Amino acid sequence: MYATPSDQSGCQRLYAAQHAAPTMAASNHVQNALLTEHFRYTPLKLVDDIINNVNELVYRAINAIEEGLTAIPPTALGFSLTPTQLDSLPTEESRQDALDELKATELGNGCVQLESLLNSTVDKDFDKFEIYTLRNILALGHDEQEARELAEWVVLEHYKHVDVKGLEDLPTPEEVQSHWRKLVESRKLNAMLKAEEARNAAVLEQLDGLLGAPEEDVSTARQADPSPFAFLAASPNISATASATNTQPLTQNVLYALAQLPALRDLVSQLRGSLQTLPNARIAPTHEADSAEAKRRQYLDTQSRRAVQRRGIASSDNSARQTAAPAASVGRRIGRDEVEGLEAVVQALGGTSAREHGDRDEDAEMGG
């Protein structure tokens, strides 16, 4: 099916109207917004109120006409019965009822037709009135460009003393939403940091408990069990610094302990190998001083003490009789308490590897 020239012109008009609709809609929006703010109601509402009032008057007029015609006798309105109807109705009362029924039917049909005619006339005429009013009376200009220019130029009464120049620098809703999201994320991060701070405080409290009680609680700490890592704060190399600053140099102690860990692992492995030669030294029964078992135990104890002294480790029994070893070979001497504490650190940090190394040495000695 091909379009006729008239159809093509209609399609062209429809295409032009669709492409012109956005501009007209924007112009009408600005104009309606200004007029609505000025009148405190929309222009279309004013036209609708006028049309509704006219329709109400039409309904009242039709009702008044119907009531007036109903009150008039049928004969006065020209209603009469045919001779056939008169012959079929012998009594006067039945004839009057027939006339009333005929009048009611005609009045009902006539009022409906009159109402339809008036409504059609009102709709057609007041549609023209609405178009004319919205285009020429309740309007700022006769075309879209003029209406837009006037809408930007007109200043209403309640806007005369309002300074809107500073409103240009106000943030947009998108910027406000972005700042709000940043605030929410900052609060979440703050809560996470506070939780992390609480966990770190608990860890520091546990570390302080491992290092021992502070100076004001020395008497209580002596009565209680000694802390397993208290030797880190009681090292002779840092006692002077600690007393001068009244603080516990935990960082220096930990770094020093970590630096000594490789050498301590070797020493512990060697000591374990030496201790394996005395499997029952701690649980052996007491013998007399002149017995062979006592002499053997004394000999092994002497040789072990000499080996420990050669390594630069001082025992508690003869710490006063120690001599300084060459600094290039063994370094400074370490007390037994410090060695035992460092051994505990080694077992806590790398106890698994040390035990495996000691077990391998023990297997090697037993195999040899």
Q: Which range scores top for mean pLDDT: 2-11, 172-181, 284-293?
A: 172-181
- Which of 192-201, 270-279, 353-362 is the least confident region? 353-362
DSSP three-state, residue 335: strand
| pLDDT at residue 33 in the model | 83
- Which of 35-44, 137-146, 188-197, 322-331 is the least confident region? 322-331
Which of 258, 279, 238 has the alpha carbon at shortest distance from 362?
279
**pLDDT, averaged across the chain:** 72
With bands split at pLDDT 50, 70 and 90, how would you rate the model's confidence at 55? very high
DSSP three-state, residue 313: strand
pLDDT tens per residue across span 11-21: 444 344 444 44
Q: Which range scores top for mean pLDDT: 85-89, 250-254, 292-296?
A: 292-296
Contacts of residue 341, defined as CB under 8 A and 6 or more positions apart, other chains included, come to 228, 229, 230, 231, 232
DSSP three-state, residue 324: coil
- DSSP E strands, the chain: 313-314, 334-335
pLDDT tens per residue across span 126-176: 999 999 988 888 888 777 777 777 777 887 887 787 776 767 778 888 999
Pull the structure tokens for residue 288.
């007399």
More confident residue, 38 or 364: 38
Q: Are 32 and 42 in contact (CB under 8 A)?
A: yes
Say how many C-beta atoms besides its own lie within 10 A of residue 172's C-beta.
8
Contacts of residue 313, defined as CB under 8 A and 6 or more positions apart, other chains included, come to 267, 333, 334, 336, 339
More confident residue, 202 or 164: 202
